[in-house]
Every structure is written in structure tokens, then in C-alpha cells.
Amino acid sequence: MAARVTVKVRVVGGSSAAADAQGAPWTLLRVSEGELRLPALRQLLAASLQISAASLTYLQYQDADGDWLTVCNDADILDGVDELGGSTLHLQALYRGARDAFRATPPALADAATPGAGLATDVPGRRGSSQPAQLASVVGRGDIQALAERGELAGAISLGERAVAAQIPLSTTIVNALLLACVRKPALSDGIAAFKLLKKGGLDPDGTSFNAIMQLGTQCGDLPLAAKALKACVKANCAITDVRTVGRLRAACTSSGVQVKEGLWKAAHRQLCLHSARLQAQGHKGFAQAELCFFPAEFDTQKWCRSRAGS
């Protein structure tokens, strides 16, 4: 990674769709490697864009294929730099949804969350429902994420289900924001309902989706669900980013008699080592050796991490 990184950032209206982002002006700034941490980076971006830092709750980074992915932690920022060659980072802020999340009474949120009011009756297929464009606008400006951020999970899920029923496209980014809100609560049943929105909307879950369900299952005691999410994450070759959750999950499965094949733990161990090695190769702190050794390894973990970092 270069000593200083060129950050290209823009504000869009709550959607990563090309039509929404087209014409949005870019702002350029140069930041040091030490400033690529979310709290510090948000302050720099807010100052450059002349908006409040609170409005930058929803950030996305661009990968090498041009897709926009959710920024959940510092590792995602590093991935964004790595994807574009090590000296450039492209970010966009979903401003309007974030802005609504910090208002005392966000417009249309109460209607979306309250049965029988406003948009709750405007679902195509019901008598009098003639405003799918209004529903699309509410989803597009980020109200699902805003409701989730406020902890109104049932309202956010209801709005997502209404969007799917009206054939209004969601995105993995939107659903993941809802899943992460479920993890923070934690709320297992809401998390499962949010995860089902991916399938209903014809979307593929990604690493963030799988990691969220694994954390929820582990926190709430649904160990078979957590193990299933871990297996899906490994099978999809997605990064496993929470080493402590994997360790807690294995310990809980062992103590409660939940049968999980040893091969899954070994595969998860290798995924974690790879993620740690990648962080170390970029000059950042990886996982602690004690955390990585949550089961007896068949090889020298430190040696393996060093070899992967050099590859």
C-alpha cells in the first residue's frame, strides 16, 4: 500500500444504481495510511464534502469489477484500496438514507412501519394501491437502512417485503445493513426474516450476509444455524472476518454435542489465516495467534500466514 492514498468520494441519494449516481460530483483528497480508519476517515470525508459525519453512516467502496460493496469495518476500507491497486480508494456515501436515520421523525418512516397507514396500504395488488413509484422512492432513498439503524427492525423488514411483493428491486447492500442491525440488537428471528429477503428478491448472499447469520446464531444459541452459515461462507469462498465468533461457535458445539464435521473447522481456520495474512501484508494487525488456534492445528499457523502473505 502506498504511503498516501488518493480517495475519490461522492454523495449519492441512497442507492448505488447507475441512474442515481450519474452526475454526482466527485471530491478528491489524499490521506495517509494511518487515516484509513473509519472514525478518522469519516471526519475527513465530512469536512471535504461539507456535510456532517453522522450523514456518512452508510458508506460503500468500489471493487475492481466496478461493483459497490458495503463498508462494515476498517478491513473493508483496506480491501477497497487493495482492489484498486494499493494507492486509490473509491467511496460513495448514501446520504439521504443516513440523513433520515438521524432525524427525530424521518419522513415516510412511520407510514412504512405502521400497518394501515400511508405506504403500508400502497402495495400493488391491494385495492387502492396505485403508487408503486412512491414505494420505490422510499426504498431508493434508504428508508430500510434508516429504520434498521433506528432499531425498528420489524418496520424495515415489512418495508422490504412490500418492495419485493411490488417487484421493486432491493440490493444485497440494503439487506446486509438490515442484517447488521439485527446482529447489534441481537434479534435472531428478525435476522432470519431479513436473510430470507435475499432469496425473495433474487439476490445472492455475500460474506457479510453469512458472517451476520453466523454471529446471530452463535449469540442467540441457534448453533445449527450458525454452523450452516459458516459452511455456506466457506463453500462460497467468502472471507470470515470474526475469529472470536468462530471460536465461540466451535466451543459451544463441542460442549452441547452439536455435530459438526472437523473438516469445516479446518477449512474455516484456513480462511481466517488467509484473511489475517492479507491484513498483515497490508501493514495492519492480523488476528492474534491465540485467537487463530481455536482448535489444534495440523500445521504451523504463523509459518502458514507468512507464506500466504508473501504469495
- 153-197 pLDDT, tens digit per residue, is 998 999 999 999 989 889 999 999 999 999 998 999 999 999 999
Neighbours of 29 (CB within 10 A): 15
DSSP run (H or E) holding 233: helix 223-235
Query: 14: domain CATH number?
Result: 3.10.20.90
Q: Which of 100, 125, 154 is the last residue of a domain?
A: 100
Give the model's pLDDT for residue 25: 82
C-alpha cell of residue 254: 463441542
DSSP run (H or E) holding 69: strand 68-70
- Reading phi first (left if > 0) and then psi (alpha if -120 to 50, else beta), residue 151 is in left
d(CA 227, CA 251): 12
Q: What residue numbers bound the domain in which 138 lies?
A: 105-259
Is there a domain that residue 264 lies in?
no
280 pLDDT tier (thresholds 50, 70, 90):
confident
Non-local CB neighbours of 116 within 8 Å, separated by 6+ positions: none
Residue 96 and residue 11 in contact, taking contact as beta carbons nearer than 8 Å: no
Q: Which of 100, 126, 159 is the last residue of a domain?
A: 100
Contacts 24+ apart (CB under 8 A), 295-298: 295/250, 295/265, 295/266, 295/269, 297/269, 298/266
Is 90 in a helix, a strand, or coil? strand
- For residue 84, the number of C-alpha atoms closer than 13 Å in the C-beta half-sphere is 21
* Least confident segment among 1-15, 157-171, 216-230: 1-15
- For residue 68, the number of C-alpha atoms closer than 13 Å in the C-beta half-sphere is 20
C-alpha cell of residue 98: 443516513
Position 201: which residue type? G
Residues 45 and 71 in one domain: yes
Burial 204-225 (b: 16+ CB within 10 A, else e): ebbbbbbbbbbbbbbbbebbeb
Give the model's pLDDT for residue 232: 94
Give the model's pLDDT for residue 200: 92
Distance of CA 90 to the CA centre of its chain: 17
Question: 188-200 and 172-184 are packed helices; what angle lies between their axes, rounded to 10 degrees?
Answer: 170
Residues 87 and 204 in one domain: no
Evaluate if residue 257 carries a pLDDT over 80: yes
269 pLDDT tier (thresholds 50, 70, 90):
confident
Non-local CB neighbours of 255 within 8 Å, separated by 6+ positions: none
Residues 28 and 164 in one domain: no
State residue 211 phi and psi, 5-degree precision.
Answer: -65, -40
Q: What is the CA radius of gyration of the chain?
A: 21
> Per DSSP, which regions of 109-185 are E strands?
none
Evaluate if residue 33 carries a pLDDT over 60: yes
Q: Which of 216, 241, 259 is the last residue of a domain?
A: 259
Residues 235 and 221 in one domain: yes
130 pLDDT tier (thresholds 50, 70, 90):
very low
Between 44 and 18, the more confident residue is 44
Structurally, how many domains does the chain consist of?
2
229 pLDDT tier (thresholds 50, 70, 90):
very high
Is there a domain that residue 265 lies in?
no
Strands of 68-70's sheet in order across: 27-32, 4-12, 88-94, 59-62, 68-70
Residues 26 and 169 in one domain: no
- Residue range 71-93, pLDDT digits in tens: 877 888 998 998 898 999 999 88
Is there a domain that residue 151 lies in?
yes
Q: Which of 92, 106, 203, 202 is nearest to 145 (CA)?
A: 106
- CA angle, 260 then 76 then 2, to 5°: 130
Is there a domain that residue 119 lies in?
yes
Rounded mean pLDDT of the chain? 76
- Reading phi first (left if > 0) and then psi (alpha if -120 to 50, else beta), residue 154 is in alpha
Evaluate if residue 218 carries a pLDDT over 70: yes
